[in-house]
Amino acid sequence: MNLSERDIQHNWHPYTQHKTAAPHIAITKGEGALLWDENGKEYIDAIASWWVNPYGHSNKFIADAIYKQLTTLEHVLFGGFTHEPAVLVAEKLTQLLPSNQKKLFYSDNGSTAVEIAIKVALQYFYNKGERRTKIIAFENAFHGDTFAAMAASGISFFTEAFKGSLLEVVRIPVPSKGNELASYEALETLLKTNEFAGFIFEPLVQGAAGMVMYDASELDKLIALCKKHNVFTIADEVMTGFGKTGKTFACDYLSEQPDMMCLSKALTGGTIPMAITTFTQELFDGFYDQDVNKALFHGHTFTANPTGCAAALASMELLTTEVMQQNIQRIHENHLRFENKIKNHSRVATTRVLGVIFALEIKTDGAQSYYGSFRNRLYNFFIDKGIILRPVGNIVYVLPPYVITDAQLEKIYQTIEEALIEC
Ligand SMILES: *Cc1c(COP(=O)(O)O)cnc(C)c1O
């Protein structure tokens, strides 16, 4: 048996109906934007392995930092103890973050980063003796798969089975072109009830919804409105963080600053699972009290794992190099050129670009479901051609590692053009 055959004896894969799924491709090696499977077939990782890997697979600089940390202090509990990597990450990250973000809470993945933000919003009001139990989120949002994060997510595909067991979340339209006023007014109506503790959003780009984009100026208005009503704003930058939008954070396009931010995915350059939720001083102070019951009783065994912190430090160092910033700009310009070339194609409905993110919506007859047959045809077409893309319904998006070469990008674009004809 090969790896792929041995795998399905025991392994249960994410987002997978095993009865109908194709065999899982066993990847044995990665370098830069490339991956190789057990038969030696080469793939371009055009989605940076679910948006986690900006600096390339098997990155030597990050690997060295991890090795050094593993052989110095691999892990120590973060309750009652601290360590240099966590101190350095805090010092470095707060320099990169919006200036109001002062406190960091570590966890293991994007979903837990969101859980923590939501729990902090709810408990902040509880600690003050105020009853605010609901959260506001966008339609078609994606914030993760644990319970509170799932409740905040609006893609019914992921949450349908759990209706009735979820935290109460009320949705407003995304302020995309034409919906700006509807979004603003819906938010204002909700805020006036004083029942809400927080408003969570993916700033500027809704990743899992298919790279749906909206303007920073519209988000600024929504944040300002929340501020006016003392409702906390939570920027879920799990996908957008660390350069994807062309700036370090999507929030860097805003004039307003969010109260909390959720970071994960590219935080460790796609090496070690880690997440950080960041907070204003005001939020932290809402838990700072003689009364032990007002503390945040949340933690994970591997909170602030030193090895993860070392990977995050090395990753942030890479991000801020001139070479990497130029890579981001180069990919952006390539995307714009391709967009210009393809946008009037008879099968293209819409296109959009932000930073290293390119998305193209293909014209189809009727609505396309998230994991529908057209999507599967596209997915398999790209896999056949050695390109890893995961279309969302009829939306094909590219979000490559920043180290991808121009030639590799060109191959992705060409294959998308072929798909427009053949799929
Ligand atoms: C991926 C993602 C999450 C969830 O992160 P996990 O690490 O998969 O739990 C949350 N929010 C956004 C915006 C994401 O893209």
| pLDDT tens by residue, 102-135 | 999 999 999 999 999 999 999 999 999 999 999 9
Give Cα separations from 411 to 258, 340, 393, 406, 415 (angstroms).
38, 17, 22, 9, 6
Give the separation between CA 318 and CA 144, rounded to whole angstroms: 27
- Distance from the CA of 129 to the center of ligand 1, in angstroms? 31
* pLDDT value for 280: 98
3-class SS of residue 273: coil
Give the number of the atom of ligand 1 that is nearest the alpha carbon of residue 109: 7
Residue in the structure block whose two tokens are 């077409």? 381
Please spell the DSSP secondary structure of 137-164, one letter per residue. EETT----SSHHHHHH---HHHHGGGTT
Q: Nearest CA to 310 among 70, 57, 78, 66?
A: 66
**Residues 160 and 150: beta-carbon distance below 8 Å:** no
Same CATH fold assignment for domains 3-58+321-422 and 63-319? no
Where along the chain do its domains lie?
Answer: 3-58+321-422, 63-319
- The single residue listed with the structure tokens 């700033």 is 203
Atom of ligand 1 nearest to the CA of 239: 15
For residue 53, the number of C-alpha atoms closer than 13 Å in the C-beta half-sphere is: 24
Q: Which residue's alpha carbon is nearest to atom 6 within ligand 1?
A: 110
pLDDT recorded at residue 194: 95
Mutation probe of ligand 1 site: the residue of 264, 277, 302 with most atoms within 8 A of C-beta: 264
Tokens representing 308 are 């993860």
DSSP letters of 38-55?
TT--EEEETTHHHHT-SS
Gap between the Cα atoms of 100 and 256, Å rounded: 10
Looking at residue 265, what DSSP letter applies?
G
Q: In which band, very low, low, confident or very high, does the pLDDT at 282 lie, cut at 50, 70 and 90?
A: very high
Query: pLDDT tens across 171-215, in order?
Result: 999 999 999 999 999 999 999 999 999 999 999 999 999 999 999
User: How far lies 351's CA from each of 45, 101, 292, 340, 343, in Å?
Assistant: 21, 34, 52, 9, 6
Nearby residues of 219 by Cβ (< 8 Å), 6 or more positions away: 175, 201, 203, 204, 254, 256
Instruction: Give 237 Cα–ligand 1 centroid separation in angstroms.
Output: 9
Residue 107 DSSP symbol:
E
Kindly tell me if the per-residue pLDDT of 366 is higher than 90: no
Task: Choose the residue to mutate in 106, 142, 240, 245 for probing ligand 1, maximizing ligand atoms within 8 Å of C-beta.
Answer: 142
3-state secondary structure of 108: coil
Q: Which amino acid is at 119?
A: K
Q: Which of 12-26, 244-258, 270-284, 362-376 is the least confident region?
A: 362-376
Atom of ligand 1 nearest to the CA of 111: 9
The closest of 398, 400, 26 to 210, measured between CA atoms, is 398
Helix (H) or strand (E) holding 104: strand 103-107
Confidence of residue 365 (pLDDT cuts 50, 70, 90): confident
How many Å is the Cα radius of gyration of the chain? 21
Kindly state if the Cβ of 264 falls inside 6 Å of ligand 1.
Answer: yes
CA angle 350, 356, 362 (to 5 degrees): 20
Q: What is the pLDDT of residue 155?
A: 77
244 pocket-lining for ligand 1 (C-beta < 6 Å): no
* Domain 3-58+321-422 fold: Aspartate Aminotransferase, domain 1 (3.90.1150)
> Helical H runs in 153-298?
156-159, 180-191, 216-228, 281-285
Q: Rounded to the nearest 5°, which phi and psi values hold at 233?
A: -105, 135
Encode pLDDT of 136-168 as tens digits: 999 999 999 999 999 999 877 778 888 888 899
Ligand 1 in contact with 111 (CB < 6 A)? yes
Q: Are 330 and 403 in contact (CB under 8 A)?
A: no
341-372 exposure pattern, b = at least 16 Cβ within 10 A, e = fewer: ebeebebbeebbbbbbbbbbbbeeeeebebbe
> What is the dihedral sign for C-alpha 343, 346, 348, 350?
positive
> Which atom in ligand 1 lies closest to the alpha carbon of residue 144?
4
Q: What predicted TM-score, i.e. pTM, was given to this entire model?
A: 0.97
Report the CATH architecture of 63-319: 3-Layer(aba) Sandwich (3.40)
Q: What is the pLDDT of residues 327-358, one digit of tens each?
A: 999 999 999 999 999 999 999 999 999 999 99
Q: Is 259 in the pocket of ligand 1 (CB under 6 A)?
A: no
Could you tell me the two tokens for 67? Answer: 């090795």
Q: What is the predicted pLDDT for the residue at 161?
A: 85
Count the helix, strand and coil residues of the chain and give each as a percent rounded to the nearest 5.
40, 15, 40
Upper half-sphere CA count for residue 230 (Cβ side, 13 Å): 10
pLDDT for residue 233 is more than 80: yes
Span 73-94, average pLDDT: 98
Mean residue pLDDT of the chain comes to 96
